[in-house]
Amino acid sequence: MYFDSISLDDCLQNQTLVAQLTGYRCKLHIVYLCWRTIFKMEIEAWYSNNFESLISGRYVTLAHIKPLLKKYNNYYEISILGVSELGKEIPMIKIGSGKKIVLAWSQMHGNESTTTKSIFDFLKFITQKDHFKDEIKSFLNNFTLYVIPILNPDGASLYTRNNANDIDLNREAQDLSQNESRVLMNAFKTLKPNLCLNLHGQRSIFGLETKKPATVSFLSPSSNMDRKVTDSRRMAMQLIVGLNNYLQQLIPGQIGRYDDSFNVNCFGDTFQMEGVPVILFEAGHVGNDYRREKTRAYLFYSLVCLFEILKQDDFPINYKDYFLIPENKKNYYDYILRNVLVNGSIKPTSIAIQFTESLEKGTIKFIPKITKIGALKNTYGHLEKDANNSKILVNYQNNIEIGLIVSTINNKNDNSLIYFNKNNHSF
């Protein structure tokens, strides 16, 4: 168990008593737990004052990270692995000199930028010299971490999932028809990693049976159609269980597990077929965090926690607990207005609004659209409001339909504003 969920006070109060009762070995264990708890508190304190403030929000491109690459060029080896289909460089950062090789890549899907921010938080963390000296020294001696911060720089620039040729790079592991896919495959074959970290972001539609949003989700991809638990898959599952144990303390009930259907065209599945453990990270949503700055922190903590677990030669984590993590469900909308009377009906219904993301002048606009009208049972809104059976007007109109872009929602009787989004959200 790592980063156990005991409070520091409990820990200190019980330490002596328990040790007297159960002996020296137990005392050592409790001291270890105390140290873990203190480490967790200190790391959260460090993060809140020191995260990488030079990149933020949803629109993160090669141009945004270039000043950071320049800075880290003084500390780490930075190479250019190749160029994208539109000729943009694909850089890779090499950190540490240890025997355990880890290969991580982010923004394979261009508009999934949260994990890229977390990577630069992590880089800042291991580069600073004031805190956690022993832990960082141990990390640099134990691991060689290769990071491709933006695998799909064209998609990042266009704010699209796919690359410039409209190809989903994560369905390319066999075809390798695109420059970016070949860059990743070459890196895998050349570096021969012991572990791969496939860093993604997921839409705000995902929630869990806990009724909470899927703020962070994981997958240990399958390596065959039967989804058998191979050695590499088991190891990725153990690591995910360790990460889940830690994250549950920060965001209880908000950690999910992705569908493990096998797809040989996905890089994670293909690398796992080669016997290399792969962890898929999905940075998700919570509350009003459309800039994904909260989720970014959870991903940073996950990276720190992961390397702490990996430092042990043997970690006693039961991989079967992986299956206790709830599966992702599509049960969330950005906004739900419940109990409204619309389109002349006297039967109350509910309206779900989902934001469409659009790149406009260097920022991402979130345009609210009506996505569903109906009972909306077993579905939840990141924001919800009860209209108490009011007749409503949307954009001052009586009739509403799916796909309508929403500016305002008013109560028809007294004209009071229920939902108002003047310039849409932009991040």
Residue 175 CB, shortest distance to Zn ion, in Å, is 18
* Residue that has been written with the tokens 């039961």 in this structure: 318
Residue 115 CA to residue 102 CA, distance in Å, equals 16
* Residue that has been written with the tokens 């873990």 in this structure: 36
Residue 259 CB, shortest distance to Zn ion, in Å, is 13
Residue 386 CB, shortest distance to Zn ion, in Å, is 34
Smaller CB distance to Zn ion: residue 280 or 340? 280
Residue 111 CB, shortest distance to Zn ion, in Å, is 9
Smaller CB distance to Zn ion: residue 124 or 285? 285
In degrees and rounded to multiples of 5, residue 400 shows phi and psi of -125, 150
Smaller CB distance to Zn ion: residue 158 or 400? 158
**Rounded alpha-carbon distances, angstroms, from residue 7 to 26, 273, 308, 360:** 17, 41, 20, 46
Smaller CB distance to Zn ion: residue 40 or 200? 200
Smaller CB distance to Zn ion: residue 203 or 291? 203
Smaller CB distance to Zn ion: residue 112 or 121? 112
Smaller CB distance to Zn ion: residue 200 or 296? 200
Residue 412 CB, shortest distance to Zn ion, in Å, is 42
Residue 364 CB, shortest distance to Zn ion, in Å, is 16
Smaller CB distance to Zn ion: residue 88 or 109? 109
Which residue's beta carbon is nearest to the bound Zn ion?
Answer: 200
Residue 163 CB, shortest distance to Zn ion, in Å, is 12
Residue 161 CB, shortest distance to Zn ion, in Å, is 7
Q: How, if at all, do strands 278-283 and 363-374 pair?
A: unpaired
Smaller CB distance to Zn ion: residue 280 or 392? 280
Residue 369 CA to residue 317 CA, distance in Å, equals 44
Contact residues: Zn ion, CB under 5 A? 109, 112, 200
Residue 109 CB, shortest distance to Zn ion, in Å, is 4
